[in-house]
Each structure stands twice: as C-alpha cells, then as structure tokens.
Structure 1
C-alpha cells in the first residue's frame, strides 16, 4: 500500500529533478487536497497508475501499465475551489474537484456567480461519491441541522469545497452563518478543536471512511447529524450535482446508518492538454493494473469503476477521454 510519506517523498524527489536530463519523463500533476483527507492518497494511487517511467519494462512484461514517458505527480492543495483556480491559471495539468464546484466554475453560477466562467475545464472521469459529513459531539443536543443555531461550528476554510456546501446546507434549513458561532478552519485544525471541545460541530465533504473522523469516533465518540427530510430532498432535486447518500452503520464506530447528501469527486483537466495524452491517461486509469492499485488503498478507491465514470459530470469531457468512453460504449 502506498503511504502518504512515500508519496510525498516521491513527489519531492520528482519535483527536485524536473528537467534534469533530456530523457526525463514529462510530469502530469494532479492537485488533490490535504494529506489528512482521501483525495491525497487516491491521487497517489492514480499517479502511479498513469506513470510509465522511462527505461522500465513494458506493461506486458511486468512493468508499469501507464503512459510511456509520463510521471504522475500528486500535489497537496487546499481543496476544490483552489484547484479550479490553479487549473484556470495553468499551474497544474489536472485536479480532483467536487462536481458542484466544477459545475459552478464552468457555468459562472453558485459561488462563482459574477466571476469569469472557467470554460476551459474538461472532465476525465468521475471517481466516487463524496459525503457531506456534519459531525457533532455526543450529548451536545445537535440532532438536526437546525440545532446548529448558536453553536460553535467550523465550516472549513476558504478555498475548500466543504465551505460552499456547508453554506448550501445551512440555507436549505433556514440558517445562515450569522445564526452560528461560525469558524473557518482547515479540516485538521477543526478536528483538533473538536477533540478539545473548543467547537461543537464541523462540516466535512469527503469520501467515507474519513480517517480523522474515524479516529474521533473511536477515541471520544461522535454524532453524525442527518442531512435529510424535505429540505435535503429539495436541495438534491434542484441541482445537477448533489445526490442522496447514506453512511452505512459501522463505518464510524458507534454510529448507526445516517442519511445525508453528497457530491461526486471528479478528475478534471483543461482543454489545453493534448487529446492523445488524455486518451492515453484515461486508458491507463481503467487498465486492470490500475484496478489492482486502486483496490489496495482507501475504501473509496474500490468504488472507482468504469460503469460510473460519467456519473455527475456536469462539464464537457475532454475529447481524449470522450474518445475512450465512446470506444467502450459508454457514449453512443
């Protein structure tokens, strides 16, 4: 299994040797999220899957089955909103982005209303569903979203995908940030303050099981607050990117099955990337060798499946990816 330390070390070495020799591989960066989340380890696995280092044996002889001469490089980031900004500025080749953030940025709606549309964005694949977690202390009396009124709640930091979704959820239940003692903390900082009871609850958009939340559940106990009912149904029904979602019983210790909502985690790029390159990268992503890598990591990696590759994709596919999906019969 690829560890965070190993991926980080590899990224540092790779970054430090860019363009050192004429035969060095081309780098294809994947902006992910914080090391404490799921984006980063999944990014490491996918980076390995698409890599085909110069000089290695070919795939059919036991070598990597990625793109010859390419090195995938996962990079830590603040999250979806920051990742879109980096792609728009040409600072990376690809990124993981929540489906709602991708849609808003491409259409100039939602949190991007009044800003220039990022119409260069193109999708490679949907990866898996991310859950909107609302985590509260046991015994804090927070059993619904409306119970957050007057409570100390972290909505996550600017640049994250969690912050706009937390605002959407609050608004759906008739609340705003002014109704709370709102804080805007990076996820790990929010978890630390939750542990020392300096906040009552926090939002987190992530695939489950989220390791930090799992640790809180096992060491001090948590409540996972439902995001359900008519308000949630209306929210899902009025969007092209939100989906109903359940966290199964036992995913977090002592927590029963909880109804909530979620978004899709997309791997996106821009139209500036060559069609043939993205075709080869998409082919590598769905190669059986990549399947073995994805199955070896976080649970969400096992949900990355070809039949769901186009679910929740609200922006255009990159032509290279589209070519692959047409060949596989996913697009007629």
Structure 2
C-alpha cells in the first residue's frame, strides 16, 4: 500500500495541536483545528474554507485546516480530541459512531455529532479507456486506487463491491493514493483506474480527464437498492461534467458533513455556522460542489445525532432537524 504524506495547512499561523476541550476557547482565544483531506480532493479546499469561516467569526482564535487522508482519519482525530471539527461522508460517521469496524474503531465513538451537511459526494469510478472496463464486474483483476489511506472512499468501495459480488481480493492490485498521486499513476500506467467518492468538479478528476482518455463506469441504481443503506442514494453524473467517455452515468451519492464531538462548546459550534452563513458567497466559492449549499441542504443525510448547538442554530432558521 502507498500512503499519502501527512502535513498541516495552517489557515492561521500556528503549529500547535489543540485539545478538544480547550479552555482557551471559552475565553475567546486558542486554536481550532479542522480535519480536512488530501490535496486534489474536495475535502482539502472545503476544510480550508471552514477554518477560514471560523477564524472570521472568532477573531481571537487561530483556525487551521489539517491535511489528512480523509473521513476515517478525521473521525479518529476528533474522537481522540486532536481536532475540534472534521469532515466526513455520512456512512463513515455511522461506522465510527456504532463501532461497526472494530479494527478501525476499537470502541464506538458515541460522542460524534453532526454540525451540518455540506454537499453531496458522488461515487466516481474512472478507468483508462484502454483497460477494457465498462461495468463494475469488469474491475476484476484491474489495478485501482480507492483513495488516500484514512479516507471514506475505501469504505464506499468495499460496500459497493460487496453488493456487486466482489471484494478487494478480486482486484489485480489496490492502491491508496491521494487525488494528485492518482492522476500521475494512471497517466504513467501504474494503475488502471480510480474509485473516488468526492464532490463534482474535484480538481484531480478534471486533471485526469484532461490528460488521458478515460471512461466512467456506472454504479447501477439497482445495485444501490440492493445495498439497503440509507446513506447511499441514486444519482447521476451528467453529460459534460468531465471530458470522459460514458457520460451520463448512474452512480451513488453520499452526503459530506461537518462534524464534531458532543463536548465541543456550544459557542464554538455556533460561531462556525455563523462564520459559514455570514460569508456564504465566500464559502461557496471554495469548491464548485458548494454552489447549491444553503440552509435547506444542511439537514440532508444525517445518520448520527446532531450537536445541540447546531440543532438550535438550524431550527431557529426554519430547518427541520432531529435531536
């Protein structure tokens, strides 16, 4: 397995690693860390935008986005008190909350709480056009990447492959590469394609489609129905989204969410939401997938409880959310 490098992108200059229950936050100071994602993926710019919004709403706080492998790593960071906020796909949050994967989560992280759904993540299966793969079943024996180590894409890939009667053992080779690493690996013929759950318009996907002929492999809606998992909904990647063969194509969508621990002070959660919605145009500009982000979409796909402060913030603005 190949693992992406770990680094920290500082939105405000700081090298500190904060504790979850940070006494300085109550005094209007301290640090706030947002677990983001790898370069080339959607979580990277979105995480930076969240940190920027927090910094603007809390002038005495130094907000920073930590580069990570993605959803699972972010859940572990928040669960261990090494980040205040994280970004994750909904089904990964469910796994962490329930402890359904004991190898990854030895104990259930029942303190995880949703703050808001940000944008729908689409499952992208893109293969070199000369790899001969047009269906999920054709991936047998192929060399593919399932996203950066620690990301939610791996869990999505396992679940969808299982519904199709496949496992990682049926593939020729499985790599764990970030979006930018993936483009180079496919272009250099080190792998045949990619499985990536991310927002429409991610830079790595555009770079790939512009550098080598690729084809989109569908995730049939009938397969999604067989999964019987409410975190997965049928969707489509429309024609013209990328310069690739096979579009439009059926796929699955999973909501990408901002989350925290239940112990995070209400004032910090409220400030994060105030920062995002107080500068909504700026936040939307961080990624094309955020162009439709607004209050009515914040309650989509919640699979674990919400933080009380987030629930109060959204209900006060007419959004129906559960406890």
Same fold (TM > 0.5): yes
Deviation at 1:39, TM superposition (A): 0.8
Partner of 1:45: 49
In 2 relative to 1, CA 112–249 (structure 1 residues): closer, same or farther, beyond 3 Å? farther
The answer to whether the 8 Å contact 2:126/2:194 transfers is yes
* In structure 1, distance between residues paired with 2:109 and 2:266: 19
The equivalent residue for 1:292 is: 281
In 1: Cα distance, 2:306 partner to 2:28 partner? 29
Q: TM-score w.r.t. structure 1 length?
A: 0.85
The corresponding residue for 1:3 is none
Find the counterpart in structure 2 of residue 311 from structure 1: 300
Displacement of 1:254 in angstroms is: 3.7
Aligned length: 307
Whether contact under 8 Å (1:127, 1:303) holds in the other structure is no
5+ unaligned residues in a row in structure 1: which ranges? Answer: 1-6, 53-65
1:147-179 Cα distance to aligned partner (Å, 9 max, x none): 011222222344111111111111111111221
TM-score, normalised to structure 2, is 0.87
Q: Following the alignment from structure 2 to structure 1, what is the Cα–Cα distance between the partners of residues 308 and 103?
A: 25
User: C-alpha separation between the residues in 2 aligned to 1:43 and 1:98?
Assistant: 13
Q: Which deviates the most, 103-112 or 200-209? A: 103-112
- 2:67 pairs with 1:76: yes
**Runs of 4 or more off by more than 4 Å in structure 1?**
16-19, 110-114
**3-state SS in 2 of match to 1:263:** strand
* More deviation, 299-308/97-106: 299-308
Alpha carbons of structure 1 residues 246 and 309: separation in structure 2 relative to 1, 3 Å: same
Point out where structure 2 has 5 or more consecutive residues left out of the alignment. Answer: 1-7
Q: Hey, what's the Cα distance between the residues in 2 that align with 1:78 and 1:282?
A: 24
CA-atom RMSD, angstroms?
2.6
Q: How does 1:142-291 map to 2 (within 5 A)?
A: 142-187=133-178, 188-235=180-227, 238-255=228-245, 256-287=247-278, 290-291=279-280
Give CA deviations for 1:173-213 in whole Å, capped at 9, x if unaligned. Answer: 11112211122222233332211112112211110112112
Q: CA separation in 1, counterparts of 2:41 and 2:105?
A: 30
How far off its partner does 1:16 sit? 6.7
